[in-house]
Structure 1
Amino acid sequence: MTDGDPQELIPGVLLSGARGKILRFYEKMLDLIVIVLIFIMLITLLAAVIGLMWDVYDTALAFRQEQAIQGLVADVLSVFVLIELFRTFTDYLEFHRIRLRVLSEVAIVFVLRELFIGLYAHRMGSLDLLSTAALLAVLIGARIAAVYFAPGHSSAE
């Protein structure tokens, strides 16, 4: 969509007049909102990395404290979640859709973050572990299906 041609908005449908103008305006405003969100996410990611470096320094000073180490583990895993969310926004800006593969990867990273934090803090019971495993299995199945049934993917590959 480099030149704003109305034919590029919806493939196979010619949009003209007021309807085409409204849809082009809507698309431009949506792109602007996503760009602002990307900058906010970038600032948040930079702040999280700076906070993580500060936590590494604090943990190095108080290495024997279990609470400091648990906080560091949670912060590191939170940065990974933010990176995946950042990738989701940039993919949306590029493709004008949220791909199920990327969204499932974000969810998998988030569930793994919670699993690692819970296991490290010794506060997950067997039922929690089983339900988290089931959730992970569903998310991984959704990711595999998203890759397998992606547009342009043939089963002969």
Structure 2
Amino acid sequence: MSLKEKVKNIFDSVIDVVFSIILVVIIISIALGTFQLFFSVWDLIKLEGITGHYIDIITDVLTLYILIELSRSLIEYFSSHKLRLTFIVDAAIVFVIREILIILFKHKMEPGMLYEFSALLFVLGMIRIGSILVHQYEKKMESH
């Protein structure tokens, strides 16, 4: 085995360990976040004026969804040793939508911000479509 292959094996092993640790932390965060979300709903039921507390629940749910998408990306890495861009872009899109919802709910959205977020969502959408097309092309090339 050459030195280059040994270094690559060490690198792959270190990356696997680091991604495993990150995945465990994300799984623990998802479990704790879900547990906390249930208590938030219970607190929401007990309150009389609930309008102001919905944004907290929406934010928590979308944050959990972002963590789930990132964990899916890491799980996909272990099977293919590639990070799938679609999962990462999905998490980014949900994050941007989460921020838009928070700003809109607090009535702090300015027209310029709306245009900026729209452009960002458009670019992320194009990246997502492109990543799907590239993934399908790669699968097609592997089958031939």
* TM-score normalized by the length of structure 1: 0.80
Change (3 A) 1:123 1:149: same
| Alignment CA distance shift 1:82-1:43 (3 Å) | same
Q: Structure 1 pair 127/110, CA: closer, same or farther in 2 (3 Å)?
A: same
Give the structure with the higher percent helix: 2
- 1:152 maps to which of 123, 139, 144: 139
Q: Secondary structure at the match of 2:139?
A: coil
1:44 maps to which residue? 29
Deviations 1:95-135 (A, max 9, x none): 21212222211111111111122222222122111111111
Rounded to whole Å, the distance in 2 between the matches of 1:63 and 1:133 is 36
AA of the residue aligned to 1:152: K
Letter in 1 for 2:70: L
CA distance in 1, matches of 2:48, 2:104: 20
Identity of aligned residues (%): 27
Larger radius of gyration: 1
Counterpart of 2:53, as a letter, is A
| CA shift for structure 1 position 66 | 3.1
- 1:96-107 matches, cutoff 5 A: 96-107=81-92
Pick 1 or 2: higher relative contact order, CA cutoff 8 A, min separation 6. 2
* In 2, Cα distance between equivalents of 1:56 and 1:113: 19
Flag the 1:21–1:83 CA change in 2: closer, same or farther, 3 A. same
Equivalent pairs, count: 139
Deviations 1:8-66 (A, max 9, x none): xxxxxxxx233322221221221112111111110011011011111111111114143
Moved over 6 A (4+): none
Q: CA RMSD in A?
A: 1.7
CA contact (8 A) 1:59 1:72 kept: no
The counterpart of 1:119, out of the listed 104, 107, 115, is: 104
Name structure 1 gaps, 5 residues minimum. 1-15
**Deviation of 1:153 (Å):** 4.4
Q: CA deviation at 1:93?
A: 2.1
Alpha-carbon distance change, 153 to 142 in structure 1, aligned in 2, over 3 angstroms = farther
Q: Which runs of 5+ in 2 are unaligned?
A: none
In structure 1, what is the Cα distance between the partners aligned to 2:48 and 2:126?
Answer: 39
